[in-house]
Structure 1
Amino acid sequence: MKLLLTGALVTGLMGVAAHAQPTMNSETAYPKGSIGYEALVKGDNARAVSQILTSAQVSRHDPAKLINLGRAYARMGRLDEASAMFSIVMQSRDSVDLVLADGRVMNSKDAARKAYAGLQTRVATR
């Protein structure tokens, strides 16, 4: 399975499935709002969290969902919760390939490690 992570790694990770041709402006192959993608793009982190937490249409273990939730938490300053989301993806028994916005493919665990490392850098520079 491949997932598309849009957004630069520098600014954060946001996931959408890429079973068809990747698009950068919507949740491809996910029900609209289920992983909070559009809310994250618009900077509406509270709405993204709400959408992600209330969506029963996507597994609570889905790496794109967890990475997006972690990203929204990080943007809201909820760093412990963000860290927990990235850790869950890193420690999962399963992993998937993720297609980054620039076309590179990255394992979901590696993407979560990068997000986690960025979060740790942010914590260290406070």
Structure 2
Amino acid sequence: MSLDDSPIDVEELPGIRGALLRYRVMAWVVGVLLVVLVVVGMPLKYLGGNDAVVIATGVPHGWLYMVLLITAYDLGRRVRWPWLRLILIAAAGTVPFLSFVAEHYATQDVRARIGTVRETSAAS
């Protein structure tokens, strides 16, 4: 992955938009599953002896977290994020509610980069 500051070309925008959408969907799905797992499933399991919610959400969360990592890497590669940002975004999928925060800031960053590309191409 290139970490240089080379500008994003206008031709790359459709791919970036698609990668952003995929990342946003996965961040929300993984985030909701993790919140349900921690806020509902764990108390039911340890206080009520019922592990049905943990079973129903734990395994899908784990598998979909792997998909989230792939979508975050794809987006980060396209917009040339530094490795630290990618690592923080990846870690956000393991902390309840944090994936929503990471998704918000990632979306702001990508939209700002898209705006910069548009301004640069309009000025040319």
- Scaled by the length of structure 1, the TM-score of the pair is 0.31
Q: Where is the strand percentage greater, Structure 1 or Structure 2?
A: 1
Q: Which has the higher contact order (CA 8 A, sep 6+)?
A: 2
Question: Which has the higher Rg, Structure 1 or Structure 2?
Answer: 2
Q: Where is the helix percentage greater, Structure 1 or Structure 2?
A: 2
- Scaled by the length of structure 2, the TM-score of the pair is 0.31
